[in-house]
Structure 1
Amino acid sequence: MAVNTLSRITKAILAPALALGATVGFASAPASAAVWNTCDQYGSTNLNGYTLYNNIWGSGAGSQCTWANSATNWGVSANHPNTGGIKSYPNSTKAINKSITSLGSLTSDYNISVPSSGAFNASYDIWDTAHRYEIMLWVNKTGPVGAIGSWQEDVSLGGHSWGVYKGTNGSNEVFSFIRKSNSSAGTVDILPILKWIKDSKGWMGNETIGDVQFGYEITSSAGGLDFNTNNLTVSSS
């Protein structure tokens, strides 16, 4: 369940100003030849137009480290306890800053390797610049996780078949598209999804799309699990 997603973004943005205490235990980063790694709670870096966040934002979290071989090849090692509630959303963020009608295209390619245990989803998280609307696209999920709000309908958009859920987290509207079956690689045509929300459903207006994120909402990964983003690119025009 995508709980308090606005606060996780706010915390990531404010991270440099925060004092990182001992409330989160940190594991060691992978021994790969990474160009960047961090085990800091809100550690982040900018690489080739993408911002990578470790982003341990939920309560009761364990240890987690994020590493990157490049802007588009990165991963996470996490050991979060088998308790309820999202612990983290390590992610890659690409700034778009264009209105829906001014976008000629907005697509993403993904290739991931995820565990067969634990509780998590691998998802896009798309925000308007005012943070009034959050569009989540779940391409993979495992364990007892679910979307905010209620089921609306099933649709085929952007090259995938989804179950659509609509709700609110108390801070913003949330539209969740849950892929009907798990996928580890593919292309998502995001713009038709945004236009469907705007034009076909009237759930939002001609919003300016701020960030397109992709990452892992991790509820539990007891014993230590690895989440590998073999390739993740976001393109717009």
Structure 2
Amino acid sequence: MLCFLLPIVLVSAAIASPLATRQIDTSSHCGVLLDQWGASGASSGSDCAKLTSVSGTTVAWTTNWSWTGGSGVKSFTNIQLDVGLNKQLSQIKSIPTVWNWSQTTQGSIVADVAYDLFTSATSGGSNANEIMIWMANFNAGPISAVYMSNGQPQPVASSINVAGHTWNLYSGSNGANNVFSFLPTSGTIISFSADLNYFLKYLTAYEGLSTSQYLITAQAGTEATSGTATLTT
């Protein structure tokens, strides 16, 4: 279950009221709106997902994925917030969310489970910064500008206390924009309830992210690189 408790709340006012419970398409979809941006790098595989319920601001869904070959991310199956975006960070008061999830795997996998936010210099403009908040790291690794002698990424800040958990923060470029990645220091977070705006406030206070940037994308899902897994949320 993934819940953005309310749409993003601005300093001035809330955005909109929750949606009513309604009938949804619960059939399985393969290759449709699953963000399979790296699928061409796989020698074989697929990614299928379906909604299981929608009630108010709460969405339950599941995804089954299996990828073989290549070293890059193949897909990012996710739920995206579409209300309250394209606001400057200085104007956002809160982004409350709750996320409870579980995962089954077959053998070893390479993947992560994470929130993924993007900011831009203009409303609805091109991505300038990506902010990832990882719930789990399954043999994957964050983008980093600096690596230690053992080949592991080096955090720009360690043991940060944000939103009730402790994180290491990594920073680097994906070739198109800067990426900030918060990774939990104590393993996997399968039940998360927090205000995502705390992460944005940390970055504007300590890592040079401008409060004049616009939040243009807010998503949550799983980045799959290789292996076979089923994520239920």
With normalisation by structure 2, the TM-score equals 0.73
Post-superposition offset of 1:69? 1.4
1:133 is the counterpart of 2:129: yes
Which residue of structure 2 aligns with residue 98 of structure 1?
87
Residue-pair matches, total: 183
In the TM superposition, what whole-angstrom CA distance separates every residue of 1:34-73 from its partner, at most 9, and x where no partner exists? 6243112xx13xxxxxxxxx12121115111111113410
CA distance in 2 between counterparts of 1:109 and 1:189 reads 9
CA distance in 2 between counterparts of 1:202 and 1:83 reads 34
- Where does the alignment leave 5 or more consecutive residues of structure 2 unmatched? 1-23, 147-154
In the TM superposition, what whole-angstrom CA distance separates every residue of 1:83-112 from its partner, at most 9, and x where no partner exists? 421111001110322211111211211011
CA distance in 2 between counterparts of 1:197 and 1:64 reads 33
In the TM superposition, what whole-angstrom CA distance separates every residue of 1:144-184 from its partner, at most 9, and x where no partner exists? x1000141112111222111001011100100001112111
Which residue of structure 2 aligns with residue 146 of structure 1?
141
Post-superposition offset of 1:208? 1.2
CA distance in 1 between counterparts of 2:114 and 2:135 reads 6
Q: Which deviates further from its counterpart, 148-157 or 111-120?
A: 111-120
The 8 Å contact of residues 159 and 189 in structure 1, kept in 2 or not, is answered as no
- Please give the secondary structure, in 2, of the residue aligned with 1:126: strand
Post-superposition offset of 1:75? 1.0
Which residue of structure 2 aligns with residue 185 of structure 1?
191
CA distance in 2 between counterparts of 1:158 and 1:37 reads 34
Which residue of structure 1 aligns with residue 173 of structure 2?
168
Which residue of structure 2 aligns with residue 56 of structure 1?
36
CA distance in 2 between counterparts of 1:158 and 1:74 reads 25
In the TM superposition, what whole-angstrom CA distance separates every residue of 1:106-164 from its partner, at most 9, and x where no partner exists? 12110111235411100000011431010000011212x10001411121112221110
| Among candidates 48, 52, 75, match of residue 88 of structure 1 | 75
CA distance in 2 between counterparts of 1:75 and 1:84 reads 24
Which residue of structure 1 aligns with residue 208 of structure 2?
202
| Among candidates 37, 43, 51, match of residue 28 of structure 2 | 37
CA distance in 1 between counterparts of 2:26 and 2:104 reads 24
Post-superposition offset of 1:82? 5.5
- Please give the secondary structure, in 1, of the residue aligned with 2:199: helix
The alignment's C-alpha RMSD in Å is 1.8
CA distance in 2 between counterparts of 1:208 and 1:183 reads 28
CA distance in 1 between counterparts of 2:25 and 2:136 reads 25
Post-superposition offset of 1:210? 1.4
| Among candidates 58, 62, 73, match of residue 60 of structure 2 | 73
1:114 is the counterpart of 2:103: yes
In 2 relative to 1, CA 36–103 (structure 1 residues): closer, same or farther, beyond 3 Å? farther
CA distance in 2 between counterparts of 1:212 and 1:205 reads 17
The 8 Å contact of residues 66 and 76 in structure 1, kept in 2 or not, is answered as yes
CA distance in 2 between counterparts of 1:93 and 1:114 reads 20
